[in-house]
Chains A and B, each alone.
Chain A
Amino acid sequence: MRRTFVVLVVALFGLVFASLVIAHNERQSLRPLAESYVELVPEELGAPNVITGILLTYRAFDTLGEVAVLFMVAAGVGLVLGASDQQSRRSPRKVSGSSSRPSSEIVQSGAQILVPLISIFAAYIIMNGHRSAGGGFQGGAVIASGVLLLVLASTRYRVNLEFLSITESAAGVLFVLTGIAGLIFAGGFLDNRMLPLGQFGAFFSAGAIPILSVLLGVKVGCELSVIIDRFRA
């Protein structure tokens, strides 16, 4: 009885997916909206990477909202996990000290070599967001992965939460201020054309997009690092 039921469910799923696969025919041309974006971004914003152009200019307000959501997540995780952290701090420290044993020498040396490399890679991703694949969100996640490696490698390593929260707030304020500067000097909130567009594809180009990218990367990196630190046992 149970087996026939399972077979029936699997067959139904197969039917659904098969119909999806059969009905799919690939579009040969772009939709009108995508086409206008592909033409407009390099022309108006001077950014070879269309996606970063859309994310940090046309839909920059949306990006600001996403960062705010991430901030809410960090605050929520702090609210849920921070309380238990305080309780363990009140109880004698030895209990938590004995449960976490130091990681091996190989992991520690590996972290020492890899964390600088990861930081450089994160900076590369953030700074090249307007030219190739990458941008603030991705680079921030890479920064946080470096912090995670440090936390894993050394039990004594403590994330400086105060520094992180100050840096994160400063980056957020600067992001909004850049947006307001766009309102004053260019066409609207978070318009990147307040700075000269520069040569197409150059490192310093695409107006304010690299600056916004850096601020976004710092903010996301700090937020994710705080979340990682909250999950420490």
Chain B
Amino acid sequence: MLELIGSILVLLGAIFHFSAGLGMLRMPDAYTRMQAGTKASTLGNTLILAGLGFYHPEWSLKLLIIICFVLMTNPVSSHALARAAHIIQIPMTRKTTVDALRDSQQRHRGGK
């Protein structure tokens, strides 16, 4: 029973990883690709590690630490990458109409 739950979780994680890969191929610009890759792979990693925890209950503490580490590092690194891409003005796709970072910077300058 535990193995079945673990297998289902690992399979779900693999599906999310697949969607991350698909997003990298299909998304139109750097930012959307980044968000597809980061979000889906964070959830996929978490699910796969949780599934491994069902397979090997004696590993669960270490796996929990790894999950926390991935949950902390993955969003921060992709945030830094996206910000760097915004700073060197990598163009967005035309369908994106909202740019909150640019707006807030303009407001900041206007406030000064």
Instruction: List A residues at the B interface (Cβ < 8 Å).
Output: 101, 103-104, 106-107, 110, 113-114, 117, 152
Contacts of B79 in A (CB 8 A): 104, 106-107
Contacts of A110 in B (CB 8 A): 72-73, 76
A-B contact pairs, 19 of them (CB 8 A): A101-B87, A103-B80, A104-B79, A104-B80, A104-B83, A106-B76, A106-B80, A107-B76, A107-B79, A107-B80, A110-B72, A110-B73, A110-B76, A113-B72, A114-B72, A114-B73, A114-B76, A117-B69, A152-B80
A101 to B88, CA, bound (A): 12
Contacts of A117 in B (CB 8 A): 69
Q: How far is the CB of A115 from chain B (nearest CB, A)?
A: 12
Quick one: which of B76-91 are within 8 Å of A by CB? Answer: 76, 79-80, 83, 87
Residue on B nearest A153 in the bound complex, by CB: B80
A114 to B83, CA, bound (A): 20
A15 to B69, CA, bound (A): 43
Residue on A nearest B69 in the bound complex, by CB: A117
Q: How far is the CB of A133 from chain B (nearest CB, A)?
A: 13
Contacts of A103 in B (CB 8 A): 80
A135 to B19, CA, bound (A): 37
Q: How far is the CB of A134 from chain B (nearest CB, A)?
A: 13
Residue on B nearest A110 in the bound complex, by CB: B76
Q: How far is the CB of B23 from chain A (nearest CB, A)?
A: 22
Q: How far is the CB of A155 from chain B (nearest CB, A)?
A: 14
Interface string of B65-78 (1 = CB under 8 A from A): 00001001100100
Residue on A nearest B101 in the bound complex, by CB: A104
A110 to B78, CA, bound (A): 12
